[in-house]
Structure 1
Amino acid sequence: MLHESQRIDAMPRGEDISVASDRRRFAAFISYSHADADFAANLQRKLERYRLPKQVAHTRAGNGAHIGQIFRDREDLAAASSLSEAIRDALSRAEALIVLCSPDAKASQWVSEEIRLFRSLHPKRPVLAALVRGEPAEAFPEVLSEGGLEPLAADLRKEGDGPSLGFLKIVAGIAGVPLDSLVQRDAQRRLRRVTWITLGALAAMLIMGVMTFFAISARNEAARQRESAEELVEYMLTDLRDELKGVGRLDVMDDVNQRAMEHYARQGDLGSLPPDSLERRTRILHAMGEDDGRSGNLAAALAKFREAHRATEALLRKEPENPDRIFAHAQSEYWVGQAAWQIRDRATTERHWQGYVTEARKLLELDPDKARANLEMGYALGNLCDFYLRDNFDIKKAIDFCRRSISFEQTALRIAPERTEISIALANRFGWLADALLVDKAHGEARKARLSEQSIIDALVAKDPRNFELRFRQTWPSFGLATIEMDWGNPRLAVSETTRIVGTLRSLVTEEPNNVEVKRALARSHYMRAKALAEFDLAKARAELSETRKIIVEIERAYPQGEALAGFWKAISELEQRVGNR
């Protein structure tokens, strides 16, 4: 592909442009604009790593399960006046052409020349148009439809086919196999992945039980067994927990957490455990409290957070300048404040979140991990943004704290751009800033902040399209944009935004039916649709309100001891009176 500006691109796989003399065939040639280089590199890696299901691969005569080599050049030829011989040679050996369509691609003379040359060389071979940005009219190079030819198209945008289905459409086009068979096999692969991760979690619990037994029965090996068991606990708290979140199986995590706590209970006097073991136990309490909160059991969550807070406070008193002890206690300050926030205890929330800021400032001075320190400062200031935003308590302070938080988190991301949690935190802060700016009636700035949030989350989902948490998180900016459009007097645009949200959330509820957060988000989305439709279609508004009621009733029946939903019922009742539903 020829580019309009200088680019240095490390290409982990794929054909180097310098090997023009090698006469191997390419399964496809990717034509793209420089602005879409990262997307092209990611698509190349995915295609070359993809293996067709056995039942599909055997239908390809002699081609096997691998798609084959994908050509993506890495040479800067912006100064060239025509396509190089190397590019011509690669196009002559390509079985298909993939065009990444975007406004930049449409404006690129080189993309158009590559399309023309490929069609002149291979008039019967497939040209696959993959829409990555913009609308079709502004993104498809005009040469694609010359002579009445229509390319095979895949819409990789989230509002189109989405990254998963769009990718499978490209695979089907290159491999010459039915799309339906790929979609069916991909769904089966995902189910197997969930099954294996779940089995891994159960195996971890079994191993924990065996190790705990030996730690009790063989006192002379207690230290060694405890060390091994706690390595497993560390795995449960980090990689396993992330994997279970990603596939929506935190119900399995409940059992894992309980086994880990039983391990500590069998150690006898907790005071005799090493500080690192005690700190690890507090992290389990944090995780268990977080899961209780997700299920709506806020009383149980607060009890676990307070127990963890007492433990981290005692550890910090013994080692006041140890960055890990400061970090651990900062987490306890956050979680106690967060639980209090959920039950609207403003005084307790402020005390603990100000305590969080205090610990974060210490980290900035003492922690050698500057990415962690800046992220924690961003978290702490972000909490105060939320604190002053709630109930419009002090909007100017909320905006100030959000902007300061964003600055620290941007610094953290510059230091460690590979850390996903920093990107998520930054996206959260842009979302909160948008909420504060909306209250301040700065609609344009609020929309800009929401789009920044959306851009960050979309990039993360593109890297990990099966991740449950990220797909749920992806609905937040769309809901925020709908809220802005409603307040700005654009109810039809608000309906358009919420239509996409409802479809995504229903799919997520199917995957994780016990997740109260997702169900509440689905109810809020139906309510938002009803509120917007009430401006121009009362019948549809009443139908959306009926759906909202149904979901809230389901939540209350399943979790009678969960969080009160009186405020939700009040809002529904008021809107029902307005649209004449009662």
Structure 2
Amino acid sequence: MRFRAFLSYSHADAEWARWLLRRLETYRVPSRLVGTRGTYGEIGPRLGTFFRDRDELPSSGDLGTTIREALGESAALIVLCSPAAAQSRWVNAEVEAFRAKGHDDRVLCFVVAGEPGSPDPAQQCFPAAVLAHAGDGSAIEPLAADARREGDGRERAFLKLVAGLLGVGYDTLARREAQRRQRKWAVVAAASLAGMAIALALAATAWVARNDAQRRQAQAEDILGFMLGDLRKKLDTVGRLDLMGAVDDKAMAYFATLDPRDLSDRALEEQARALAGIGQVRLNEGKHDPAMAAFREAHARSTALHQRAPDNGQRLFDLAQAEYWIGFVALEQGRYDESAVWFRKYRDSGIRLAAMDRKNFDWQREVAYGHQTLAVLDERRGRYPEAEHAVREELALYRTWTAQHPDDTALRFEAANVLSWLGTLSAQQGKLADAEAFFTEQLAGMQRNIAAEPANAKWQDLRINALYLLVEAQAQRGRRNEALANILAATTSADALAKQDPANNLWQSPPAICRWWHAQLIATSDRATAIKLADEAAAIVTRARTAEPKNERVLRWLVMARNLQAQLALAEGDNRGAQAHAAEALALLEPAWKDAPNETLRLVLANNRILAGEGAQAAGDDAAARADWQQAEQLLTTDARDALPFERLDPLVRTLLHLGRAAEARLHQQRLTAAGYVPLRPFPQAERIAAQ
């Protein structure tokens, strides 16, 4: 063959192609492999020549004579796989032409971007012609060298590709490469020793000691780099979290012995990244104190780097990330004052970073993220007006950016997420009209994304979530007809997504949520249909929980479905069925509440106790009913900060009415009435409060 391989790639990956061609054409085969036989014949000292010519591609629909001849004279085909390559008709045509010659086993894939196996077509990286097909017609992904950072990495992927070209095992080639590096380093070490001998005669002993210390430090950090990188991945694969923790502890102990002032910029950068990685691993393991220690060490090194070059934007960016992580750990630990200090530093660093380069859009967005972190903190503290103020500042930025980039769907999604936050904060303050307006605008953004990218299932999923929020806001304002129309639209989309990918459990719950809302909206007008919808919702979310038994969101919706079944059974006079559904919901909910109580679970549990009390009252057990309602009252009045959260008012009014405390209930209903709130389920008729 004239060529060792033909490089097939998209124009978008030209830089990768140039890099790979240089590496392949200059690569020297390890001497211990030269002369041996690989799968495709005797191995020479060089890989040979490669064909990479994009300039001569014809504009017609045919590949052209030059390309076809080159394909026929190539022993292998290397496909640079990326979303751009997956969409390229030329790459696909080249693969088809090569495979037509019976060389299926010589097609080698080199992944540079995208996500292998992604259900999102925009992230798929393999061209259609590369994929083999099973007997049932489904695509089978090829084995590939993955050059992405989260894959094999550039160097390891390159060796895998070379092994495929030579027809030898990767381990064999990697071992020979390691031996060659060892010999190289042995020569380097020998040369260094000779240099040191000369240096001893020319320089002071202090210089020699310093050089030796730096060399040992570099060696130690190379070993640590391996331990925190490749070794960590292998230990994670086999589940040896204990060894991973030991590696992290050793690394932290070593870094603690070093003074940042004595380190080079490169050494500081490597250490800062390693420490940030250690912190994130420990955070994922729930080890907040060790995570905080790692992030503080990363911050110290990032601070030293920034002080050395205060005009270097990348160093300020790294410093800002360290500030964010320290604030985030403090937030997770409930140390809100400390978190506020670090989140303000993060926001201020983002503002300074944005001012450094107005054309760097990623840096501009750090300002928005800074506002968002402060809003999250204020929301956690129940300071809803302050949180709303921060998010409104963030929204002002996104309105400007989306006007400047009207076709950027990812940016429009981020803006829609900000609108969702504002809608939620408005609802938490009882500003229901504002909440509906924000959710309506959020929905419009997702619909624009769908119009721009109709094949992107992500936008469909996000549109469904936007519809949920809008339906709730409309239902709370008594706008049932609009809410019903929107939930029916959401149901159609949710059912379609669930059928599109039954294996995607995230898409299996939305049909149940849609049916839950539909049943709630028609519970008083068409009880038979509502019961049917509630039963369907419970069945769907039960299947979803079987697939993900530890998913709190799935558990919460299952409990809400059981509560709804109890509510409808009570309306039908089926007290036994109502009590059974309420008891089943409680059995599901209590362990989660004890393990990790939060506001969402609090409301679901309180509603469950209200329904249980109503069932007990209907069965004639007034003592049990009163005990259930007292438990609901305790849940709803505990940890209320300065004022009761708005979402607690409806269930609290019901509870107080059941307990015969109408005067107290009237005060809370006045807040509901002032907000324009209309309950989905009428308050207890016997003691219903007249609007004041």
Asked if Structure 1 and Structure 2 have the same fold, meaning a TM-score greater than 0.5 normalized by the shorter chain, the answer is yes
Q: Which residue of 1 aligns with 2:363?
A: 225
- Say if 1:360 and 1:232 are closer, same or farther in 2 by CA, change over 3 A: farther
> Would you say the 8 A contact 2:487–2:518 is kept in 1?
yes
- Which of 343, 356, 360 aligns to 2:477? It is 343
- Please say if 1:546 is aligned against 2:685: no
User: Which residue of 430, 449, 454 corresponds with 2:581?
Assistant: 449
The 3 A distance-change label for structure 1 pair 483 and 216 is farther
Q: How does 1:513-532 map to 2 (within 5 A)?
A: 513-530=643-660
Aligned to 2:550: 418
Aligned match of 2:677: 563
Higher relative contact order (CA 8 A, sep 6+): 1
Equivalent AA in structure 1 for residue 557 of structure 2: A
Structure 2: distance between partners of 1:430 and 1:232:
40
CA displacement 1:375-428 (0-9 Å, x = unmatched) = 111111111111221xx2111111111111112212222222232111111111
Partners of 1:202 and 1:564 in 2: how far apart? 40
Asked if the contact 1:384/1:401 (under 8 Å) is kept, the reply is yes
Counterpart-to-counterpart distance in 2, 1:220 and 1:271: 13
The residue aligned with 2:635 is: 504
The alignment status of 1:215 with 2:345, answered yes or no, reads no
In structure 2, the CA distance between the partners of 1:362 and 1:318, relative to structure 1 (3 Å rule), is farther
* Closer, same or farther: CA 274–268 of 1 in aligned 2, 3 Å: closer
Residue 336 of structure 2 aligns with which residue?
Answer: 197
- TM-score computed with the length of structure 2 as normaliser: 0.48
**Alignment partners' CA distance in 1, 2:561 and 2:683:** 29
For residue 493 of structure 1, the aligned residue among 605, 618, 624 is 624
Cα distance in 1 between the residues matched to 2:683 and 2:605:
26
Whole-Å Cα distance in 1 between the matches of residues 429 and 462 of structure 2?
24
What do the CA deviations read for 1:202-236 (whole angstroms, capped 9, x no partner)?
A: 74366345525643662232x23146556668x85
Matched letter for residue 575 of structure 2 = H
Would you say the 8 A contact 1:230–1:277 is kept in 2?
no
Residues 453 and 244 (structure 1 numbering): CA distance in 2 closer, same or farther, change over 3 Å?
farther
User: How far 1:362 moved relative to its partner?
Assistant: 2.6
> Measured at CA, do residues 226 and 249 of structure 1 come closer, stay the same or move farther in structure 2, by a change above 3 Å?
same
Provide Cα deviations, 1:232-271, integer angstroms capped at 9, x if missing partner.
68x859xx85x87666555553244234213313436254
1:306 and 2:420 aligned: no
Q: Secondary structure at the match of 1:267?
A: helix
- Distance (whole Å) between structure 2 residues aligned to residue 291 and residue 226 of structure 1: 25
- In 1, are the aligned partners of 2:384 and 2:428 still within 8 Å (CA)? no
**Hey, what does 1:265 align to over in structure 2?**
399
1:297 deviates by 1.1
**In the alignment, is the contact (CA less than 8 A) between 1:321 and 1:366 conserved in 2?**
no
Residue segments in structure 2 that go unaligned for 5+ positions in a row: 1-238, 243-286, 290-329
Distance in structure 2 (CA, Å) of the matches to 1:478 and 1:341: 23
Q: Choose from 446, 452, 455 the match for 1:318.
A: 452
For residues 333 and 659 of structure 2, the distance between their equivalents in structure 1, rounded to whole angstroms, comes to: 33
User: Given residue 423 of structure 1, which amino acid in structure 2 is its aligned partner?
Assistant: L
Q: Distance in 1 between matches of 2:642 and 2:380?
A: 11
Q: Pick closer, same or farther for the CA change 1:244–1:275 going to 2, 3 Å.
A: same
Which of 596, 606, 610 is 1:479 aligned to? 610
1:328 match? 462
Q: CA deviation at 1:327?
A: 0.8
Q: 1:220 to 1:192 in 2, by over 3 A?
A: closer
CA distance in 1, matches of 2:538, 2:588: 13
Aligned residue identity for 1:359: S
Matches within 5 A, 1:159-308: 196-197=335-336, 199-200=338-339, 203-204=342-343, 207-208=346-347, 210-212=349-351, 214-215=353-354, 218-221=357-360, 223-226=361-364, 228=366, 236=373, 241=376, 248=382, 250=384, 253-267=387-401, 269=403, 271-272=405-406, 274-308=408-442
Partners of 1:247 and 1:486 in 2: CA distance = 37
Alignment of 1:52-63 (within 5 A): none
CA distance in 1, matches of 2:333, 2:408: 36
The percent identity for this pair of structures is 14
The answer to which of 560-569 and 361-370 deviates more is 560-569
Change over 3 Å in CA distance of 1:396–1:280 after alignment to 2: same
AA of the residue aligned to 1:312: M
With over 3 angstroms needed to count, the CA separation of the structure-2 counterparts of 1:218 and 1:368, relative to structure 1, is farther
Report how far residue 512 of structure 1 moved. 5.5
Secondary structure at the aligned position of 2:401 is classed as coil
1:249–1:512: 8 Å Cα contact kept in structure 2? Answer: no
CA distance in 1, matches of 2:543, 2:437: 35
1:359 alignment partner in structure 2: 493
* Gap change, CA 1:327 and 1:502, over 3 Å in 2: same
Provide closer, same or farther for how the CA distance between residues 402 and 490 of structure 1 changes in structure 2, counting only shifts above 3 A.
same
RMSD of aligned C-alpha atoms? 3.7
The residue type equivalent to 2:363 in the other structure is Q
CA 1:514 to 1:212, structure 2 compared with 1: closer, same or farther past 3 Å?
farther
Separation (CA, whole Å) in 2 of partners of 1:294 and 1:428: 20
Verify the 8 A CA contact 2:478 2:679 in the aligned structure 1: no
Offset, 1:274: 2.5
1:360–1:376 CA contact under 8 A, matched in 2: yes
1:415-459 CA-partner distances (Å, limit 9, x unpaired): 222321111111111111111111111111111111122122211
Separation (CA, whole Å) in 1 of partners of 2:390 and 2:516: 31
TM superposition shift of 1:368: 7.7
- Residue 570 of structure 2 aligns with an amino acid whose one-letter code is L
| Amino acid aligned to 1:524 | R
Change (3 A) 1:198 1:444: farther
Q: TM (normalized to structure 1)?
A: 0.56
Distance 1:356 1:202 in 2: 41
Is 1:428 the equivalent of 2:560? yes
Residues 657, 687 of structure 2: 8 Å contact kept = no
Give the Cα separation in 2 of the matches to 1:192 and 1:373.
31
**Relative to 1, partners in 2 of residues 1:442 and 1:295: Cα closer, same or farther, differing over 3 Å?**
same
Query: How far apart are the structure 1 equivalents of 2:560 and 2:634?
Result: 22
The answer to whether the 8 Å contact 1:502/1:522 transfers is: yes
After TM superposition, the structure 1 stretch with the greater mean CA deviation from structure 2, 342-351 or 364-373, is 364-373
Rounded Cα–Cα distance in structure 2 between residues aligned with 1:248 and 1:441: 40
Query: C-alpha displacement at 1:481, in angstroms?
Result: 0.5
**1:388 is matched by which residue type in structure 2?**
I
> 1:192–1:422: structure 2 CA closer, same or farther, 3 Å change rule?
closer
Sort the Cα spacing of 1:279 and 1:205 in 2 relative to 1 into closer, same or farther, 3 A: farther
